[in-house]
Amino acid sequence: MTANITLDAGALIALDRNDRYMWSVLRVAADDGTIVQVPAGVIAQAWRGGPRQALLSRALRHCDEISLDGATARAAGILCAQTATSDVIDATVALAAGSIARSGDSVVFTSDPIDITHLTERLDGPIWIETV
Protein backbone atom coordinates (compact mmCIF):
# COMPACT_ATOMS: atom_id res chain seq x y z
CA MET A 1 0.00 0.00 0.00
CA THR A 2 1.17 3.52 -0.72
CA ALA A 3 1.48 6.30 1.83
CA ASN A 4 -1.67 7.93 3.15
CA ILE A 5 -2.25 11.39 1.69
CA THR A 6 -3.19 14.82 3.05
CA LEU A 7 -3.96 17.59 0.57
CA ASP A 8 -3.23 21.27 1.16
CA ALA A 9 -4.85 24.15 -0.72
CA GLY A 10 -2.19 24.10 -3.43
CA ALA A 11 -3.10 20.51 -4.25
CA LEU A 12 -6.81 21.36 -4.41
CA ILE A 13 -6.10 24.30 -6.69
CA ALA A 14 -4.02 22.04 -8.92
CA LEU A 15 -6.91 19.54 -9.11
CA ASP A 16 -9.30 22.39 -9.89
CA ARG A 17 -7.00 23.46 -12.73
CA ASN A 18 -7.02 19.90 -14.10
CA ASP A 19 -3.37 19.25 -13.25
CA ARG A 20 -2.58 15.81 -14.69
CA TYR A 21 -0.07 14.92 -12.00
CA MET A 22 -2.47 15.57 -9.12
CA TRP A 23 -5.29 13.76 -10.88
CA SER A 24 -3.01 10.75 -11.37
CA VAL A 25 -2.13 10.84 -7.66
CA LEU A 26 -5.83 10.87 -6.78
CA ARG A 27 -6.61 8.09 -9.27
CA VAL A 28 -3.82 5.81 -7.99
CA ALA A 29 -4.88 6.49 -4.39
CA ALA A 30 -8.47 5.53 -5.20
CA ASP A 31 -7.32 2.35 -6.94
CA ASP A 32 -5.09 1.38 -4.00
CA GLY A 33 -7.62 2.24 -1.29
CA THR A 34 -5.27 4.87 0.11
CA ILE A 35 -6.63 7.37 2.62
CA VAL A 36 -6.84 10.84 1.06
CA GLN A 37 -7.86 13.54 3.49
CA VAL A 38 -8.44 17.28 3.37
CA PRO A 39 -8.94 19.48 6.44
CA ALA A 40 -12.09 21.63 6.29
CA GLY A 41 -10.10 24.87 6.47
CA VAL A 42 -8.14 23.87 3.38
CA ILE A 43 -11.40 23.36 1.50
CA ALA A 44 -12.46 26.86 2.59
CA GLN A 45 -9.20 28.27 1.19
CA ALA A 46 -9.80 26.75 -2.25
CA TRP A 47 -13.59 26.63 -2.56
CA ARG A 48 -15.42 29.47 -4.29
CA GLY A 49 -18.41 27.46 -5.51
CA GLY A 50 -20.31 27.46 -8.73
CA PRO A 51 -20.00 25.44 -11.92
CA ARG A 52 -16.44 26.60 -12.48
CA GLN A 53 -15.31 24.32 -9.70
CA ALA A 54 -16.82 21.12 -11.05
CA LEU A 55 -13.39 19.47 -11.12
CA LEU A 56 -12.69 20.35 -7.51
CA SER A 57 -16.13 19.10 -6.51
CA ARG A 58 -15.43 15.81 -8.27
CA ALA A 59 -12.01 15.50 -6.61
CA LEU A 60 -13.43 16.11 -3.13
CA ARG A 61 -15.79 13.14 -3.58
CA HIS A 62 -12.67 10.96 -3.33
CA CYS A 63 -11.41 12.61 -0.14
CA ASP A 64 -12.22 12.37 3.54
CA GLU A 65 -13.07 15.85 4.80
CA ILE A 66 -11.55 16.41 8.24
CA SER A 67 -13.69 18.74 10.34
CA LEU A 68 -12.23 21.47 12.49
CA ASP A 69 -13.56 20.64 15.92
CA GLY A 70 -12.58 22.27 19.18
CA ALA A 71 -9.88 19.76 20.03
CA THR A 72 -8.26 20.12 16.61
CA ALA A 73 -8.47 23.90 16.83
CA ARG A 74 -6.70 23.88 20.19
CA ALA A 75 -4.06 21.44 18.95
CA ALA A 76 -3.45 23.65 15.89
CA GLY A 77 -3.03 26.68 18.14
CA ILE A 78 -0.55 24.81 20.32
CA LEU A 79 1.41 23.64 17.27
CA CYS A 80 1.55 27.23 16.00
CA ALA A 81 2.88 28.36 19.39
CA GLN A 82 5.50 25.59 19.44
CA THR A 83 6.72 26.46 15.95
CA ALA A 84 6.35 30.26 16.18
CA THR A 85 3.99 30.27 13.19
CA SER A 86 0.54 31.77 12.75
CA ASP A 87 -1.20 29.84 9.96
CA VAL A 88 -3.67 27.59 11.78
CA ILE A 89 -4.85 26.01 8.52
CA ASP A 90 -1.30 24.85 7.76
CA ALA A 91 -1.19 23.53 11.32
CA THR A 92 -4.36 21.51 10.72
CA VAL A 93 -2.77 20.05 7.58
CA ALA A 94 0.28 18.99 9.61
CA LEU A 95 -1.89 17.53 12.37
CA ALA A 96 -4.02 15.61 9.89
CA ALA A 97 -0.90 14.17 8.26
CA GLY A 98 0.49 13.31 11.67
CA SER A 99 -2.67 11.49 12.69
CA ILE A 100 -2.48 9.10 9.74
CA ALA A 101 1.32 8.83 10.00
CA ARG A 102 0.83 6.85 13.20
CA SER A 103 -0.58 4.00 11.09
CA GLY A 104 2.04 4.17 8.32
CA ASP A 105 3.77 6.59 6.01
CA SER A 106 2.04 9.86 5.27
CA VAL A 107 2.60 12.38 2.48
CA VAL A 108 1.38 15.97 2.24
CA PHE A 109 0.84 17.48 -1.21
CA THR A 110 1.35 21.23 -0.85
CA SER A 111 2.51 24.36 -2.63
CA ASP A 112 3.97 25.57 0.69
CA PRO A 113 6.61 22.93 1.54
CA ILE A 114 8.75 25.10 3.79
CA ASP A 115 5.97 26.00 6.22
CA ILE A 116 4.44 22.51 6.22
CA THR A 117 7.86 20.90 6.79
CA HIS A 118 8.51 23.28 9.69
CA LEU A 119 5.22 22.22 11.30
CA THR A 120 5.51 18.48 10.64
CA GLU A 121 9.01 18.33 12.14
CA ARG A 122 7.35 18.69 15.57
CA LEU A 123 5.16 15.62 15.02
CA ASP A 124 5.80 11.90 15.31
CA GLY A 125 5.67 9.52 12.40
CA PRO A 126 7.08 9.45 8.90
CA ILE A 127 5.60 12.45 7.07
CA TRP A 128 6.85 13.23 3.56
CA ILE A 129 6.28 16.52 1.78
CA GLU A 130 5.56 16.60 -1.96
CA THR A 131 5.54 19.98 -3.72
CA VAL A 132 2.69 20.67 -6.12
Q: 67, 30 in Cβ contact below 8 A?
A: no
Domains and CATH numbers, the chain: 4-131 (3.40.50.1010)
Residue 38 has pLDDT above 70, yes or no: yes
Is pTM, for the whole model, over 0.85? Answer: yes
Q: How many residues does the chain have?
A: 132
CA 36, 127, 37 angle in degrees (round to 5)? 15
Q: What is the pLDDT of residue 29?
A: 96
Residue 110, helix vs strand vs coil? strand
Q: What is the pLDDT of residue 3?
A: 84
Residue 1 has pLDDT above 60, yes or no: no
Comparing 14-28, 31-45, 72-86, 90-104, the range with the smallest average pLDDT is 90-104
Region 27-36: mean pLDDT is 94
Q: What is the pLDDT of residue 2?
A: 67
